Structure 1
Amino acid sequence: MSLRRSRTIPSLLLAAALVGGGSLTACGVGASNGSGSAGDADETSFDAAMDDLPADTGLPADTGLPAAASTKGVSYAPYVGDVSPVSDDVSPSLPTSVTDADGRDVTVDSVDRIVPLDISGELSRTVAGLGLRDNIVGRSVSSMEPSLKDVPVVTQGGHSINAEAVLNLHPTLVLLNHSIGPDDAVDQIRNAGVPVVMLEDPEFTDGKIGEDIRTTAGVLGLADEGEKLASRATDEYDRAKDKVSELAGAADGGKPLRMAFLYARGDGGVFYILGPDSGTATLIESLGGTDVAKENGITDMTPANAEALAKMNPDVLVMMSGGLESTGGIDGLLSKPGVAQTTAGQHRRILAIPDSQALSFGPQSGEMLLGAAAALYAPDDHREATAS
């Protein structure tokens, strides 16, 4: 099996994660979704998230749904809990042989001790969803699942791998992609004789959800479970998009909210508007909005200066909750040039999404989308108190 494919990851996300020491995680953790109970494939916390959305979708705008464009204040998307595994009794078909994304031939003989590492926590959720949560012995700072809270973090200064910390866990398999590094640390782990499988770089599109799950499952010798999890995740995301489309059509007379995704770290120079190459268009359009960066021809990113913000004039600013916190909260954000002059700034209208969920398209994408939509369209239930 070959995992090689030419992909690129927006450099900002990785570079900013590897410097400074700012954590790409939210400060709040939601309730566990059963912490590993498999149950029926359709019985997940996704359905509870569907119930959290306003019920009167598809009705005229005067039925009580909030006027989202004129709503004021910061609202926070909830942090999703644990993924429900498709099975709690799996028997991987091993060994598997793959040519990974670095062109290396790797044989996987054991999945007893897995260290899944990436910038968004998708890999740990995928491994858990396939039924191997208890086999995860190390994690990145983005793997914030409640059931992994006692599993050692092996990244430092954001998303830089501590090779010695990984090796001290005696892993039988390290799964990662190029969203995390550095290469020297990866090579150190390989040279110690640990099987390392470099997966494809993240592609921030919803269409890759099922394919990426199947690829990871193939490495782990769980093809059948991979098909089940991929099908469930894709179905949930499609259902979520349909639900949110109804909700967006009922709010504000169906006029799409104009939204911009801001990436900020601290009060220094890390302040950018992200474009579709980072997954912003997929997220914003799935929320029923218009990505003003895409509208203005931005593909990857551009500095969030006063001129750019004035030209775009978004109704809502979307941010990672940790990024908003690092700027000093809403007041710190409004002190940045141009922010207060936008419609979003005048209304203090920020949609804050947990860092590891904001541009994540893994097995809980549907639930993550529903959480963001609930915060956007039912903001009174997702105010500042839910951020801690």
Structure 2
Amino acid sequence: MVFCRTIASLLLSSGIALTPAAHAAGITVHDARNREIAVTDSGRTVSIGGAITEILYALGLESRLVGVDTTSLYPAAALQDKPNVGYMRQISAEGVLGLNPTLILAIQGSGPRETMDILETAKVPLVLVPDTFTEAGLIEKIKLVGHAMGVDARAACLSAAVSADFAQLRALRAKVTKPVRVMFVMSLQNGRALVAGRKTAAEEIIQLAGAANAIDDFDGYKIIGDEAIAVARPDVALSIERGKDPVQAEAIYAHPGFALTPVAANKSFIAMDGLYLLGFGPRTAAAARDLSTRLYPALAERGDGFTSALSAANCRQ
């Protein structure tokens, strides 16, 4: 009962919250739910999703942010300076609405469902941002976020820089003559590997780097056994760096399944920052370039010719 009264009061306050100045007045956004969302004020925005936060900072809109989620790891100032509303899949409605937002930008897949239902009933625009793991999907993400915030010109600038980086990446990828087989390992659970199949951010970044996903017989993430790993015969194991229970190189090499593959024979294990590698934010082309040069050292040795247009662009004003 107390919880319900608290939620009710937050819903009421979120509907009447006043901000010093309105931004993005009179804008309509077509979001991932195929709904038209009217945005009248983006002056107090909550960002749920690391890629969204990264885009907002790249567009110079951090002053409008009043809250971010725990995946908002880049830039580091986001989590240091802004209130934290929790992990994107375990968001608290109270935590979000208690910040009196005028706009909520949430990456597709945010949850839990109960929280999203509560946020839907609040008198605050909730824009669900599509999370499609392709170059076109990333450009769409940037343009949608920029449009919702009323800064279409800045979003066009950022989209152009990101597109230029992808063009350079394509030229780099064209130099790869024999794609290596990469298996992305999210975790080792009781000796069993949780790996990425088709239609995942991991598969897309592997392909962007000029490699092939060693798993091609299922979608999403799945725990597989030793025999399946041996049959897939990956050349490289790829994972993400994280503070808690990271996948360790030695654990991969000693694993019975990987021990029968070139991964163990060649000591081929790569770990990279999770948001950088899988976030599909503005730095994705650079992340794919970095992965590519680690997969194919010869590219780095002779110079890959990649000069990031993103790092040179100023899309913040």
Do Structure 1 and Structure 2 share a fold, with TM-score over 0.5? yes
Q: Are 2:278 and 1:359 equivalent residues in the alignment?
A: yes
CA contact 2:180–2:295 (8 Å) conserved in 1: no
Structure with the bigger RCO (C-alpha within 8 Å, sep 6+) is: 1
Map residues 90-239 of structure 1 onto 2, 5 A cutoff.
93-102=24-33, 104-118=35-49, 121-144=50-73, 145-148=75-78, 149-156=80-87, 159-200=89-130, 202-239=131-168
Q: Which residue of 1 aligns with 2:200?
A: 278
Runs of 4+ aligned structure 1 residues displaced above 4 Å come to none
Root-mean-square deviation (Å): 2.7
Q: Structure 2: how far apart are the matches of 1:197 and 1:139?
A: 15
1:243 to 1:100, Cα distance in 2 relative to 1, 3 A: closer
Aligned-residue offset at 1:317: 0.7
SS in 1 for 2:67: coil
Q: Which among 294, 305, 309 is matched to residue 229 of structure 2?
A: 309
Q: Structure 2: how far apart are the matches of 1:274 and 1:168?
A: 36
SS in 2 for 1:176: strand
Q: In structure 2, what residue type is equivalent to 1:352?
A: A
1:335 to 1:304, Cα distance in 2 relative to 1, 3 A: farther
CA contact 1:306–1:337 (8 Å) conserved in 2: yes
Larger strand fraction of residues: 2
SS in 2 for 1:263: strand
Q: In structure 1, what residue type is equivalent to 2:147?
A: G
Aligned-residue offset at 1:93: 4.5
Q: Structure 2: how far apart are the matches of 1:287 and 1:280?
A: 11
Q: Structure 1: how far apart are the matches of 2:259 and 2:210?
A: 24
Q: Which residue of 2 aligns with 1:27?
A: none
Q: Structure 1: how far apart are the matches of 2:179 and 2:72?
A: 33
Q: Which residue of 2 aligns with 1:368?
A: 287
Flag structure 2 segments of 5+ consecutive residues without an equivalent. 1-21, 301-317
Map residues 321-360 of structure 1 onto 2, 5 A cutoff.
321-322=241-242, 326=245, 329-360=248-279
Q: Which residue of 2 aligns with 1:243?
A: 172
1:367 to 1:327, Cα distance in 2 relative to 1, 3 A: closer
Q: Deviations over 1:318-346 (max 9, x none)?
A: 112239x6256223334544122221023
Q: Deviations over 1:158-195 (max 9, x none)?
A: 73112222122221111013321012212323434222
Q: Deviations over 1:327-366 (max 9, x none)?
A: 5622333454412222102333111121222223222222
Aligned-residue offset at 1:154: 0.8
TM-score w.r.t. the length of structure 1 is 0.64
Aligned-residue offset at 1:306: 0.9
TM-score w.r.t. the length of structure 2 is 0.77
SS in 2 for 1:272: strand
Taking only the aligned residue pairs, the percentage that are identical comes to 24
1:209 to 1:100, Cα distance in 2 relative to 1, 3 A: closer
CA contact 1:161–1:181 (8 Å) conserved in 2: yes
Flag structure 1 segments of 5+ consecutive residues without an equivalent. 1-90, 382-388
1:111 to 1:272, Cα distance in 2 relative to 1, 3 A: same
1:163 to 1:307, Cα distance in 2 relative to 1, 3 A: same
SS in 1 for 2:104: strand
Q: Structure 1: how far apart are the matches of 2:23 and 2:98?
A: 25
Aligned-residue offset at 1:102: 3.3
**Aligned residue pairs, count:** 276
Aligned-residue offset at 1:103: 5.1
1:173 to 1:269, Cα distance in 2 relative to 1, 3 A: farther
Q: Which residue of 2 aligns with 1:298?
A: 218
Q: Structure 1: how far apart are the matches of 2:134 and 2:276?
A: 13
SS in 2 for 1:175: strand
1:374 to 1:134, Cα distance in 2 relative to 1, 3 A: farther
Q: In structure 2, what residue type is equivalent to 1:153?
A: N
Q: Which among 248, 257, 268 is matched to residue 180 of structure 2?
A: 257
Q: Structure 2: how far apart are the matches of 1:221 and 1:190?
A: 22
Q: Structure 2: how far apart are the matches of 1:211 and 1:153?
A: 26
SS in 2 for 1:94: coil
